[in-house]
Chain A
Amino acid sequence: MQEKVAHIIGKYHSDKGFLVPILQDVQKEFNYLPKEALTAVGTQLQVPLSRIYEVATFYRAFSLTPRGKHQLSLCVGTACHVRGAPMIQDGIERVLDIRAGQTTADLEFTFETVNCLGACALGPILVVDGEYQGQVTLSKANKLLKKLGKKVATDEED
């Protein structure tokens, strides 16, 4: 872990100003921000851990807990909101039995909301493992979850 962090910090010439991008790269590497990695960033950049913790908890992009195998991001920008994103959010939260921002206990799914993906013509948009799904309805969301192995009732005839 130490070497991986050192490599990332090296890319930014150990410049403290790049703390946010450095943490982004660390998160990309480990899927979240493990405590050891943050300690390593602190030691190597000579920034107190408290400062790093402040930054890591201030910005929405960072997670201090491991994230699920499948990432679901629902756009809740204004255009998606007026086109029914809240209903989709309720639906996904109900099926996965977690709230937005959480990960299921089996580490299968992380569900989060994002403020705007800027693809408003397709709203509501759900990003499933990096793949954009446009004009999402409750039934489409359920089908997507079913495909990823979640047991859920869909409108397909039995």
Chain B
Amino acid sequence: MKKIKSAADLKNLQEELNARLDPNKPCIAICCGTGCLAHGTRHLVERFQQELADRQLTDKIGLRRTGCHGFCERGPMVVIHPQKIFYQRLKVDDVPEIIDKTILGGEVIDRLLYRDPVTKERIVHEHEVPFYKKQMRLVFGMNGMIEPTSIEDYLAIGGYGALAKVLAQADPQAVIDEISAAGLRGRGGGGFPTGRKWDATRKAAGSPKYVICNADEGDPGAYMDRSLLEGNPHSVLEGMIIGAYAIGSSHGYIYVRNEYPLAVENITLAIDKARQMGLLGENILGSGFDFDIVINRGGGAFVCGESSALFASIEGRAGEPRAKYVHATDKGLYDKPTCLNNVETWANVPLIINRGAQWYAGIGTEHSKGTKIFSLVGKINNTGLVEVPMGITLREIIYEIGEGIPKGRRFKAVQTGGPSGGCIPEALLDMPVDFDELTKLGTMMGSGGMIVMDERNCMVDVAKYFLKFLEEESCGKCTPCREGIYQMRKILDRITNGEGKLEDLDTLEWMGQAIKDGSLCALGGSAPNPVLTTLRYFRSEYEAHIVDKKCPAGVCKALITYGIDADKCTGCRACTRVCPTGAATGEKKEVHQIDQEKCIKCGACYEACKFDAITIA
């Protein structure tokens, strides 16, 4: 691999690589994101390679192992180019048919197409699938076009062009002004104006200055950062290099979760390749600008997503946050000026430089610009990653992109912002999604997790879940957070055990406020949000637990009993076979019984019954 020594060299190489792309050459783009790999995509790739080799087609037909396409619900999936035929839920044995019929024969295989659940119509092309139709995939869309392990693929579609532009302009302040004018705000949750952060770091006294990519994506149910690092690592690197140039930094770090092995692998490879080609290291593109990046893997502590805890972790210490009277932009990592941005924020940077601040600022709402990637998960028909313009409503995301709730059940709430966020009820689904509107509802954008819940989810249980999570993840430094969350969780334990009192609800409210006021970092500062929002929007559910001693959703073990509907029970003995305590009994073809004394409410019978005969009351 030759070093690229100037912007002109880069341009030549990009053109040369682009010319090699034959738009008419058939190519199978196969999603190899973590979601699809978990679906068994690896075997599919091997079979494609084998079948293509057997037919001596390896040179004539491309096989591109791309990053995540977003539509995880339907994996394993491929897109056949140039027609852009979308096949989903594939099995290894579908492979020969796809090659023979579709690629060689030009025939569409009906069975493998996506079927619209409403109209029952088969949809041929990727962009016509309702899941993709309403999206605006500016940052994430490139994933399907490149192999993340190939820097050439990224260069061929114009990659690192934004960097060349910035270096040619030789005006770091202009870069910052451009990012400010675009209105880009931090995608990691805080929503702080990116340009302002860069400017503060640039102007801060002290050296060296550090640039950090926060890839410690800890919010459960959010995985867009991982998918960007896995699927398009060079876009993140390019953003970081541009940022470092604007700020005047030559040292960068990527702090990434160790639980994301593929992301670590792909970003490591991307850094090596960028270095070999002279896009990282000394004298980048002959501009005299030096910058390099080191990867640091996290140890599985949620609090390390918080900037000052993250610095502590990079310094090799336990990840405890500190007070931020002095900003990280003045004293961050090793007490030096530090600019920390989230993965998605960095990936937005090349886009803004390439297409201009004005274009970018034209997307979104007044104070939230551009697009945001959300992970739409939980009780939703189309689980996956969706990139939408800011200002879209929750209803559009859930019902048009997500196509509603499975099994015809009723929507109950959507939880945004991870453990720091809150639950939004149906009545507020028409609110536009942006940083400020979500905050007004008592929740937050967070990093973009969106967990949909239906009538079978108990809101008290969900609030307890988040408190338990934060109780374990609290670093323990601030007493209100360490002890307060624990006490709040104890109260919720009591309520879900049917031992709650109505006064408990007031206690929860004032304690929540006290924890918010008395904690140093955002973990404690936002920890009570799930409880406070569920109290605000679903108070009746708390009251049902306390007053009626009932869990309306049928979740809280102490408040439910399993029974058998005699009309529906066929006497098949499925429940008696799985019952671990011998509580479910009965003879073949006779109505079964559940002995309440022995029942431990494990739910095995409910799961095993094919006739819907197990009742939860």
Contact = CB atoms under 8 A, between A and B. Distances in A.
Interface of A: 16-21, 23-24, 47, 51, 54-55, 58-62, 76-79, 81-84, 87, 90-91, 94-95, 114-123, 125, 132, 134, 137-139, 142, 153-155, 157
Nearest to A130: B261
Interface size class of B (residues with CB under 8 A): 35 or more
B259 A119 contact: no
A155 B462 contact: no
Given A55-B317, A132-B38, A120 B218 contact: no
A78 B449 contact: yes
B58 to A, nearest CB: 29
A118 B577 contact: no
Contacts of B590: none
A114 to B, nearest CB: 7
B377 A55 contact: no
A120 B377 contact: yes
B301 A79 contact: no
Nearest to B219: A116
A68 B69 CA distance: 36
B300 interface: yes
B226 A118 contact: yes
Given A23-B299, A24-B258, A155-B578, A121 B453 contact: no
Contacts of A157: 577
28 contacts: A17-B296, A18-B296, A20-B296, A21-B296, A58-B299, A58-B318, A59-B300, A60-B299, A60-B300, A77-B220, A78-B221, A78-B378, A78-B451, A79-B220, A81-B465, A82-B378, A115-B220, A116-B222, A118-B223, A118-B226, A119-B34, A120-B375, A120-B378, A121-B383, A122-B38, A139-B578, A153-B578, A155-B578
B316 A18 contact: yes
A16 B317 CA distance: 9
A121 B76 CA distance: 12
A79 to B, nearest CB: 4
A79 B451 contact: yes
Contacts of A123: 377
Contacts of A17: 296, 314-316
Interface stretch (B183-191, B512-520, B600-608): B600-608
Given A58-B301, A155-B577, A134 B221 contact: no
A120 B72 contact: yes
Given A55-B299, A58-B318, A121-B75, 17 more contacts: A18-B296, A20-B298, A60-B299, A61-B299, A79-B378, A82-B453, A114-B259, A115-B302, A118-B222, A118-B227, A119-B35, A121-B377, A122-B39, A132-B38, A138-B602, A139-B608, A154-B577
